[in-house]
Chains A and B, each alone.
Chain A
Amino acid sequence: MTAIVEAVDLKKTYMLGKVPVEALRCVNLKVESGDFLAILGPSGSGKSTLLNLIGALDKPTEGKLLIEGIDISKLNDNQLADLRRKIGFVFQFFNLIPRFTARENVELSMSIIELTRAKRRKRAEDLLEIVGLKERMNHKPTELSGGEQQRVAIARALANEPRFLLMDEPTGNIDSKNATEIIELIRRLNDEKGVTIIMVTHDQRLAAQTKRTVQMLDGLIVQENVNQK
């Protein structure tokens, strides 16, 4: 199987004021189709930086990051934008557009890839049904609970049939009861629909559902585990 994501000697250095900060020092990672990977580690260990690079939101300082065999450091802004259309993002703080309803938020990502209005609407409704929000699709984010908002965000991330999902602490801002539902939804997506998922999490219950975990510390991957089920 070919790797969807492959990091080779990946380095990322930030300037924090005038002080350079080595967020990633030398990361090697391979993610294959159908994988379900959790990136663990204390804050400041470089997990979010790695996730941003995999999501083509940022470029590496050194090394290579291949997404479906393409090195993102060689892409311009436009090509990166095109690449991001094939990636589904789920954020800790949901990042829905507050003035749009649940359905409009899901449709937004499809309007970016210029899907027709009718198709968008149909697909948004289908996706909201999958995440269990069909009844509440005309509600705005402020009228939804944290768990419901995160489900809208997951539906939005799935809208453009992404190659993989990137999740940044998807349960980090949700109460435990709702988190259980989200964890179950994420597990089913991987299990039943075969969606490749890469996530950063502190949630041990969520990490326990994954197929693999990598542990990061000070910009390096220090440990890799395969979860036996």
Chain B
Amino acid sequence: MKTRDIVSYAFSAIRLRKLRAGLTTLGVVIGIAAIVALLSLGQGFQNSITAQFQKGFATNTLIVSSQSFLGTESSFQLLLNDSKTIENIENVTTALPIIQQMCFIKANGRTLPVNIAGVDFAQYQSVYSSTFVAQAGIIPSNPDNETIVVGARIHDPWQNQTILVNVNDTVEIIWPTVTSGFTRVNETYTGHVSAVLNEVGGFSIGGPSDLGVYIPISKAQSFFRTEEVNAIIVQLNSSDEETIKDVSAAIKNALSDQVSVTSATAVLSTISTIFSFIEIFLAGIAGISLLVAGIGIMNIMIVSLMERTREIGILKALGMKNRTVLLIFLGEAIIIGLLGAVIGIALGLSLAEGVARFGFLAIGRGQGMANQTNQVARTDGLTITPVLTPTVFLGALAFGLIVSVVFGLYPAWRASRLKPVEALRYE
């Protein structure tokens, strides 16, 4: 029998039991859709990480903080002067102290919680030359004490052109300090906005963030009345692993092992690693659903075999070979598997789009707002565009095919082995 006739025969058998075949296909669709959604989101995530690197992500920087990256408490204080110590270490070009505080910014009658970072503008610009860039106004290298630079999302917090802060605006910085027991006291100073930064997007590890507000370090020092810094960003003259390792050790040594040193690259790779673990775990669960779908295929194929025993007898009486009977039954399973895979890929991709558009954006925004603490790394509405790579596409198709072949083989084999006389006698 010709392939075309085998396929059309298999189709005619599937059409006979539309609902049953449909439900079985649905099982495959769900499994494949889950896998495709997860993998294409994962791929999208990888891509946005890569994009961060290409956007001038400073791979040659280290972040020195008094606490470990995960935030364990320590009595050690990292001070402004420690940056001088670090600058003397070999291969270090710049050591940039940052003083951060949770504050509020009041402008044009509205108040917004913000993370204030006191930095040396000139140094900061030299380390983050591609991201600490003004879209409006000028970032002065010798700012006066009242100068303020704001991130793109402080300028337009709701991303709908409702401008909160503009260049040349006068704004109030409110620092809610807690003095004597539970009495909250607000300390306030008035500054003027000299620049709005370009949109950075995504992750900021040490570097400028869309939700950041930047003031000169000297002002931060006097306003917050502190010598303690949250972090010192260290720029190296090389980004190779060896240098990063050596300098990290030297810094720890110089600051009596009381600090944690994190490279920006390490942070990103940690995030990627965690995400891939989650991805593999979820894909595993999706894989189980595909296994269940496979059992579903086997189930209906066996039922079909029982119902059509007589038909198989007729086909054999007409001279059909065992191999052809096997191909017909296998063909039915493959049609279900491939159909399920194709629909599943489409569904999975739209699912991923949906999650990326509504889910991740919401999470990203939420985190962006919530993370106004002393953390140096955070995500400001990380945008993920799900990507269906050819590998995922072909892989999903192959999965549908393999599942249907594996689970369709046994019923098909049984069908092919039926004895014509017995099959014809079957009621």
Binding site for B on A (CB under 8 A): 52, 55, 57-58, 77-78, 81-87, 89, 91, 95, 97, 99-100, 108-109, 111-114, 156, 160
Contacts and interface: CB of A to CB of B under 8 A. Distances in A.
Given A58-B421, A99-B12, A99-B16, A77 B321 contact: yes
Chain B interface size, as a band, is 20 to 34
Contacts of B319: 81-87, 109, 112-113, 160
B2 interface: yes
Contacts of B318: 84-85, 89, 108-109, 112, 156
B314 interface: yes
A99 B17 CA distance: 11
A23 to B, nearest CB: 11
Contacts of A57: 316-317, 420-421, 424
Contact of B320 (A81, A95, A156): A81
A58 B420 contact: yes
B316 A97 contact: no
Contacts of A112: 1, 315, 318-320, 324
Interface string B310-334: 1101111111111110000000000
Interface in B72-91: none
Given A57-B424, A58-B421, A97 B320 contact: no
B242 interface: no
Contacts of B317: 55, 57, 84, 89, 95
A144 to B, nearest CB: 17
A16 B321 CA distance: 27
B119 to A, nearest CB: 77
Contacts of B240: none
Contacts of A108: 315, 318
Given A95-B424, A97-B311, A108-B315, 19 more contacts: A57-B316, A57-B421, A57-B424, A58-B420, A58-B421, A81-B322, A84-B316, A84-B317, A84-B319, A87-B319, A89-B317, A99-B15, A99-B16, A108-B318, A109-B318, A109-B319, A111-B1, A111-B2, A112-B319
B314 A97 contact: yes
A91 B424 contact: yes
Contacts of B2: 111, 114
A98 to B, nearest CB: 9
